[in-house]
Amino acid sequence: MPKVVLEYKEQAKKRIMDAASAEFAKKGYRKTTMNDIAKRIGVSKGAVYQYFENKEALIGAVVESFIESALGGELSSPSDKGFIEITEGSFGRLLKSMPSWFPYLLCDFMSEAHRDRNAKQLMREVDRKLVEGISGCLEDRKKAGEISPNVDTVGVARGLSALQLGLLAFISTGLPRSKAIEAWTEIVRSMASGLELKK
């Protein structure tokens, strides 16, 4: 496929995702329709369906794209920084770059996952990618001798992913972001001592 066509398709997907983000922020996940999204960018609903098979796929792409861009790949790429430094900072960066409506959208989508199989599958995919990134970071720290070789990196990563998603849910109920960061930092530091990190 020619590069120009690929670039056009990526730009079209981004326009749709930006429009979806704006509509989800305005109306919430359940009340937003694919027609609303199409109208926002001046295309037919069919054009939106060419890129996303349903609303669940679209919100999944929005959530995944946001988390990946907010974390900047730091968790999944090798780093000279230590585990505490990487992990403590990751949640702060996520919150700093997060629009105020995002925690509400995430909770909306998570609640939809209880009723809708596609939403559940997409939410699990977002979680899987978070777990992969965190466990990859932990494995790098293991190889560097910073973490005990006995640590179950996937189990720890799953706990940290659940903690991030849980704190985002509490932010949507009014928990100040500063309090969420304090909780995250305290738990990461406590976990670090249990992982037998070398100081």
| Contact predicate 122/60, CB 8 Å | yes
Token representation of residue 66: 């946001």
pLDDT at 199: 46
Ordered DSSP codes for the chain: --HHHHHHHHHHHHHHHHHHHHHHHHH-TTT--HHHHHHHHT--HHHHHHH-SSHHHHHHHHHHHHHHHHHTTTTTS--SS-HHHHHHHHHHHHHHH--TTHHHHHHHHHHHHTT-HHHHHHHHHHHHHHHHHHHHHHHHHHHTTSS-TT--HHHHHHHHHHHHHHHHHHHHTT--HHHHHHHHHHHHHHHHHHTT---
Q: Name the residue ranges covered by the structural domains of the chain.
A: 1-52, 55-194
Closest CA to 126 of 165, 77, 80, 70: 165
pTM above 0.85, yes or no: no
| Contact predicate 21/62, CB 8 Å | yes
Q: Look up the CATH number of domain 55-194.
A: 1.10.357.10
Q: Which amino acid is at 91?
A: F
Q: 1-52 and 55-194: same fold?
A: no
For the four alpha carbons of 30, 101, 131 and 152, in that order, the dihedral sign comes to negative
pLDDT at 15: 93
**pLDDT values of the chain reduced to their tens digit, one per residue, 199 residues:** 555 567 888 899 999 999 998 898 888 888 899 999 999 999 999 999 999 998 888 888 887 787 776 655 555 555 566 677 777 777 887 788 788 888 888 888 788 788 878 778 878 887 888 888 888 888 888 888 888 888 899 998 899 888 988 898 899 889 999 999 999 989 888 887 777 655 4
Query: CA-CA distance, 143 to 197, in Å (whole number)?
Result: 12
| Contact predicate 32/55, CB 8 Å | yes
Give the angle subtended at the CA of 74 by the CAs of 78 and 175, to the nearest 5°.
145
| Contact predicate 94/181, CB 8 Å | no
Name the CATH architecture for the domain at 1-52: Orthogonal Bundle (1.10)
